[in-house]
Amino acid sequence: MAYQVLIVDDEPVIRFGIRASIPWEQHGMQVIGDCANGSEALELLHNQSLDILITDIKMPVMDGLALTREVIARYPHAKVILVSSYNDFDYVREAMRLGAMDYILKPTLEPEELLEVLHTCIRQLQAERSMHDVIDAYASSTRQLERKKVEQLLKRNLLQKQPIESAASLPSWMETKMWVVCVRLDRVHEGRSEAEVGELERTIVWEDLVETFYDQLDRGYALHISSEELLLLLPAESEDASFMEKLKGDLESVIGYKLTMGMDQADHAGQLNEAVEHSRLACQRRFFEGLGHIYQHEVEAKAVQTTPLSSQGESTQANQPEFDRFKSELMQKVRLNDNEAMQSLLQTWIKTWQALSHTACSHGDEMRIKHEACELLSLQFSNHMESVHLLERFDAMKETETIEDFLDTFLTQVEECHRLLDEKQDRHPSYDSPMERALDYIHEHYQQDIHLQEVADIVHISKNYFSILFKKYTEQNFIDYVIQLRIRKAKELLEHTELKVYEVAEASGFNDVKYFSKLFKKMTSCSPVDYREIHRGR
C-alpha cells in the first residue's frame, strides 16, 4: 500500500511545485491532496489516513504549528516535514520539539533534497511498522500461551470433576456470572455414513469452530473436551441469552454444519462442574425435542428459538420388570425361530419408545431406550453373528441424534441382520474376496469423486455391511483410507511436478483446495508449499 502524503502551503506555486517535482507512485507514495491552510487540511483528513505531512509554518486561519499538533495527536505514527523561510527558525525549533521529522528551506528547495527526506520518513515508518508487527506478534503469542494454560487447567479439573477454586491464573471475569455452553454438531453424517466422514474431517470442523469463536469474542474459552462436544465459557454480560443466536449463526456459517447448544449459568468458577453437567443435559434434549435449537437449563426450560418444545408431562417409560418380561417372551420366539411373532413383539415395544417423544424426557430416557435396543438385537442374533458385527450395529444406534433417527436405524439394523443371515451360506472366502476387489477399485479410482455406496455396489454388498467389513479388513474407515491415498498422491506430485497447489489438489482427488491445504498440513505438519520446498532441496 502506498504511503499517504498531504501538502499544505498558502502559496499555490509552492504546492504545485512540490506536487509536480516528485514521481510519487514510483517511490511508493500517493498525494491525497494539497491545501492552503491547516483548517482545510484537517477537513480533508476527515476519515482519511495519513503517513507524511509536508507543511509550511506561517499560514492564515491555522498555521503549521497548530496543524502539526493536531496531526500528531490524530496520527501518532505520521511524519511531518516543514517547509520554512529563513526567518522561521523559532517556529521550526518549536515544530521539531512537537515531533516534526525535518525541515527544508523554501529558497533552496530542490526535488532531490525533498526526496531524500521523504525516503528517510519512509524508512522510519517501515521500521516502526516492523517493530509494531513484532510487538503485536509477541503480544498475540503471549495471549495464546496464557489462554492455553487456562484451557489446560479447566479441562483437567472438569474431566476429573475436581472443584475449580479461585486462582491467579483465572481471568477476573470468571469470578462473576458466566455462560457455560455445550455445543454439539448436528447431522455430521447427513447423507453419509461415519465411514464417509472420517475423523480428520471432524477434527478440522472443530478446529474451525474454535478459531471462529476466538475471532468473535475478546473474552471466553473454547474447551474441546471430546470428539462429540465443545464447551464454551464466556461472560454473562446480560441475563438475556439471545446474543447466543448470533454467535451460533456465525459459527454455523463458517463450519457448514448446524449446531445444537445447551446453556447454563454459573455465578463463579467454583460452580463450573455443576453448570457443565446442566448444559450437557440441556443439549441432550435435542434427541426428543429437535436439532438446531438452543436449550437453556431451567425448571420450565424452553428453546431459545421459536420452535415450540414438547409439552411437559410424566415420562411413560416402562419399568425394568416389564422389560424383563418382554425379553423372556421374545426369547421364546427366538428359540422357536418364529420370525413373524418376533417382528410383532418388536413393534409392540417400539410403541413404548415412540410414546416418549411426546413427553418431557431426560437423557436417562435416551440412554435407556438405546440400551434396550442393543439388548433386543443381541437376543435375536448373538448366536448367529460375530460379535464385531453386532457391536458395529450397537454403535450405529447409539450415534443416532433424534428419536426418529433411532427408530429408523433400529428397524434397518434388524432387517439387515436378517438379510445377512440369509446370505451367510452363500458367502465363502476366496482369493478374489470382496475386500480385495474393493481395494483394487479404490486404488484405481481414488482420484475421482468416489463414494462408499459406489464401491459397495461394485462388490455387491450392502453399504452398511461393506462399511463393517472394510473397517475390519483395513483397520480404517472408508474415507480415512481414501484420504490417505490422496495425500500420498499429492506428495508425489509436489515432489516431482511443477503443478500449482490447486492443480495438485484436483489431480489428487480433492475438489476444495482450501480443505486440501488444511488436511495436508494436519497430516504432514507442513503446508503443501513448504513440503515442496523441503523435498525439492534434498
Q: Write out the DSSP string of 412-479.
A: HHHHHHHHHHHHGGG----TT-HHHHHHHHHHHHTTS---HHHHHHHTT--HHHHHHHHHHHHSS-HH
How many other β-carbons are positioned within 10 Å of the β-carbon of residue 434? 20
Superfamily of segment(s) 173-296: Reverse transcriptase/Diguanylate cyclase domain (3.30.70.270)
Q: Which pairs count as long-range contacts for 371-380, CB under 8 Å and 24+ apart, including other chains?
A: 372/323, 373/397, 373/406, 373/410, 374/398, 375/327, 376/327, 376/330, 376/346, 376/349, 377/410, 377/413, 377/414, 377/417, 379/327, 379/330, 379/331, 379/334, 380/330, 380/334, 380/342, 380/414, 380/417
Residue pair 361/288 in contact (Cβ under 8 Å)? The answer is yes
The residues, ordered by sequence, that sit 6+ positions from 192 with a Cβ below 8 Å of its Cβ are 452
Mean pLDDT in the chain? 82
CA angle 347, 349, 355 (to 5 degrees): 105
Arithmetic mean of pLDDT, 195-214: 77
Query: What is the pLDDT at residue 316?
Result: 41
Q: What are phi and psi of 218, to 5 degrees?
A: -80, -30
CA-CA distance, 139 to 142, in Å (whole number)? 5
What is the reported pLDDT for 239? 62
3-130 in CATH: which number? Answer: 3.40.50.2300
148 pLDDT above the threshold of 90 = no
What sign results for the dihedral spanned by CA atoms 17, 20, 23, 28?
positive
Answer whether residue 44 shows pLDDT above 70: yes
Structure confidence at residue 238 as a pLDDT band (50, 70, 90): low
Beta-sheet strand order (sheet of 221-223): 221-223, 230-235, 178-186, 258-266, 294-296
Query: Which residues, 6 or more positions from 87, have their beta carbon under 8 angstroms from its beta carbon?
Result: none
Is there a contact between 69 and 98 (Cβ–Cβ < 8 Å)?
yes
Question: What is the location of CATH 3.30.70.270 in the chain?
Answer: 173-296
Rounded-to-integer distance, Cα 456 and Cα 467, Å: 8
Residues paired with residue 231 on neighbouring β-strands, in sequence order: 182, 223
Q: What are the residue ranges of CATH 1.10.10.60 in the chain?
A: 434-536
Question: Which of 412 and 194 is assigned the larger pLDDT?
Answer: 412
Nearest C-alpha neighbor of 477 from the set 398, 417, 395:
395
Q: Quick one: average pLDDT of 209-233?
A: 87
Helix, strand, coil % in the chain, rounded to nearest 5: 60, 10, 30
pTM of the model: 0.57
Q: Mean per-residue pLDDT for 3-31?
A: 92
Q: What is the pLDDT of residues 373-408, one digit of tens each?
A: 888 888 888 877 777 677 778 888 888 888 888 888
353 to 304, 358, 416: CA distances (angstroms): 26, 10, 21
Q: Pick the more confident residue, 464 or 293.
A: 293
* Residue range 434-536, CATH number: 1.10.10.60
**What are the pLDDT digits (tens) for 243-273?**
889 889 989 988 888 999 999 999 888 889 8
308 pLDDT more than 60:
no
Q: What is the mean pLDDT of residues 499-505?
A: 91
Q: How many helices (H) and strands (E) does the chain have?
A: 22, 10
Domain with CATH 3.40.50.2300 in the chain: 3-130
CA-CA distance, 513 to 6, in Å (whole number)?
A: 43
pLDDT band, residue 310 (cuts 50/70/90):
very low
